[in-house]
């Protein structure tokens, strides 16, 4: 274990005094809000807008609204920004693990996971029924890591309410994303070639988990509003919201944008593979679960999907994140939004996506134009 690794005896220190993220800001309330929002962990989530939070915040601040829906919340960082801005936030995503992140950080305004609870979660049992170890041995992680996940799930009752459980699941998710080479679950194995000595790959899942509990505890606060986290299809989200932030998957020019394909392990883990839709496809090498249909994944259905989306939320201020590498083209979407909204403004900036290991990153970096399309 490397010197930066966290030992079991350090649980208290990590849970009670997690590492702070420092930003070069000082002073004003606006900067303080942004500092708080940017403390949200970067989760290596495909399409995360974490790097764009200051830019998005600048545009949101000019709009007049009290309630907001983050309709495709993903990692949860934009929902958290909205919470920090003092808005009444509803987060929605059809992925269970994304919804758990939002329950822990958006809906939850006061519950933290205590040191005692962490000790209860880590209490050595035989690892429950060993389902995770049996199913994923030789596929992802080391046997000890998998046994650890089984143990946490077997001891989940140590968490005394749904908010605490959501923090525990979120901490497992962050741990797995950090420990997994490239943060995706498309290829089996724990290949030596990815072990370039980085701290994240040297630490065990348990060490990452303990650190992550501290990170999520540190995010808990009340903004004085009743915020909600939903888990479902965007077209089933009830109610009206002053502003709706839309960040659907983009149909890429190459490859696909399937979140379940990349993150099936996290999606299963969020319910220990008990939830409907997480049945393991045993014939697949990496023990996938079934894909979930979304119109935003396919050229033939994407445009119609956007049309339904704009129509459904036409009463709200629409804020759409989009990028130059998506399909359909920006002009097509702007024209479509103009058929529902009188004023449509386009804001643009460059954004560098990173997806890969250190060694690969330079070849896989892509500079794309990022847009915020605002319809009022
Ligand atoms: C581009 S990501 C959102 C990223 C997020 N804004 C962030 O900063 O992390 C798109 C999200 O849309 C979700 N999604 C795709 N289709 C959906 C649907 N029909 N209903 C609800 N969520 C959906 C995916 O699960 C994914 O988390």
pLDDT tens readout for residues 125-164: 766 789 999 999 999 999 999 999 999 999 999 999 999 9
pLDDT tens string 37-95: 999 999 999 999 999 999 999 999 999 999 999 999 999 999 999 999 999 999 999 99
Report whether 113 contacts 164 (CB < 8 A): yes
**Does ligand 1 come within 6 angstroms of the Cβ of 233?**
yes
**Does ligand 1 come within 6 angstroms of the Cβ of 209?**
no
Q: Give CA–CA dist 164/158, Å, rounded.
A: 9
Report whether 70 contacts 91 (CB < 8 A): yes
pLDDT value, residue 311: 98
Q: What is the mean pLDDT of the chain?
A: 88
Instruction: Parse the chain into domains and list their residue ranges.
Output: 8-375
pLDDT value, residue 326: 87
Q: Give CA–CA dist 107/214, Å, rounded.
A: 18
pLDDT tens string 235-270: 999 999 999 999 999 887 667 789 999 999 999 999
Beta bridge partners of 88: 67
Statement: residue 5 has pLDDT above 50 = no
The answer to pTM > 0.95 is no
Report whether 175 contacts 212 (CB < 8 A): yes
pLDDT value, residue 196: 56
Map residue 69 onto helix, strand or coil. Answer: strand
- Ligand 1 atom nearest to 250, measured from its CA: 1
Q: Give CA–CA dist 268/95, Å, rounded.
A: 10
What spacing in Å lies between the alpha carbon of 360 and ligand 1's midpoint? 26
Please state the rounded mean pLDDT for residues 364-373. 80
Statement: residue 277 has pLDDT above 60 = yes
Q: Which residues are within 8 A (CB) of 319 and not within 5 positions of it... i.e. 6 or more apart?
A: 59, 60, 63, 243, 244, 245, 246, 372, 373, 374, 375
CA dihedral sign, ordered 96, 45, 205, 146: positive
pLDDT tens string 29-38: 889 999 999 9
CA angle, 299 then 43 then 204, to 5° = 130
Which tokens hold the place of 316?
């709200």
Statement: residue 1 has pLDDT above 90 = no
Report whether 51 contacts 38 (CB < 8 A): no
Q: What is the dihedral of CA 376, 232, 91, 14, to 10 degrees?
A: -160
**Does ligand 1 come within 6 angstroms of the Cβ of 257?**
no
- Ligand 1 atom nearest to 234, measured from its CA: 20
pLDDT value, residue 200: 84
Statement: residue 9 has pLDDT above 90 = no
Pocket perturbation via mutation, ligand 1, pick of 72, 83, 96, 351 by most ligand atoms within 8 A of CB: 72
CA dihedral sign, ordered 235, 236, 241, 246: negative
- Ligand 1 atom nearest to 248, measured from its CA: 10
**Strand residues in 84-186 grouped as ranges (E):** 88-93
Query: 92 — phi, psi (to 5°)?
Result: -140, 140
pLDDT value, residue 106: 98
Pocket perturbation via mutation, ligand 1, pick of 93, 99, 270, 372 by most ligand atoms within 8 A of CB: 93
CA angle, 49 then 271 then 129, to 5° = 140
Beta bridge partners of 374: 319, 345
């Amino acid at each position: 274990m490397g010197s930066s690794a966290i030992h079991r005896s350090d649980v208290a220190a990590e849970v009670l005094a997690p590492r702070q993220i420092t930003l070069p800001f000082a002073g004003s309330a606006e900067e303080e809000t942004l500092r708080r929002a940017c403390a949200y962990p970067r989760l290596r989530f495909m399409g995360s807008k974490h790097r764009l939070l200051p830019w998005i915040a600048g545009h949101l601040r000019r709009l007049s609204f009290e309630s907001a829906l983050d309709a495709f919340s993903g990692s949860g960082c934009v929902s958290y920004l909205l919470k920090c801005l003092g808005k009444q936030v509803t987060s929605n995503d059809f992925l269970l693990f994304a919804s758990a992140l939002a329950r822990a950080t958006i809906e939850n305004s006061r519950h933290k996971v205590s040191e005692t609870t962490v000790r209860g979660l880590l209490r050595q049992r035989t690892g429950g029924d060993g389902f995770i170890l049996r199913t994923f041995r030789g596929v992802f992680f080391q046997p000890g890591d998998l046994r650890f996940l089984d143990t946490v799930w077997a001891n989940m009752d140590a968490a005394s309410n749904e908010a605490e459980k959501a923090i525990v699941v979120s901490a497992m998710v962050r741990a797995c994303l950090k420990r997994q080479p490239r943060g995706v679950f498309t290829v089996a194995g724990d290949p030596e070639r990815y072990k370039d000595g980085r701290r994240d790959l040297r630490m065990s899942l348990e060490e990452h988990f303990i650190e992550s509990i501290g990170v999520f505890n540190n995010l808990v606060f009340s903004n004085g509003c009743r915020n909600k986290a939903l888990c479902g299809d965007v077209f089933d989200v009830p109610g009206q919201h002053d502003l709706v932030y839309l960040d659907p998957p983009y149909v890429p020019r190459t490859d696909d944008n399937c979140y379940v394909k990349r993150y099936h392990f996290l999606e299963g883990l969020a319910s220990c593979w008990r939830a409907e839709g997480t049945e393991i496809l045993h014939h697949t090498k990496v023990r996938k679960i079934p894909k979930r249909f979304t119109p935003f994944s396919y050229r033939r259905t994407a445009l119609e999907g956007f049309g339904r989306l704009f129509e459904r939320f036409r009463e709200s201020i629409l804020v759409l994140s989009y990028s130059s590498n998506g399909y359909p083209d920006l002009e097509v979407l702007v024209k479509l939004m103009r058929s529902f909204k009188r004023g449509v403004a386009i804001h643009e900036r460059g954004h560098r996506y990173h997806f890969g290991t250190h060694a690969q990153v330079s070849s896989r970096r892509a500079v794309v134009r990022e847009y915020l399309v605002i319809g009022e």
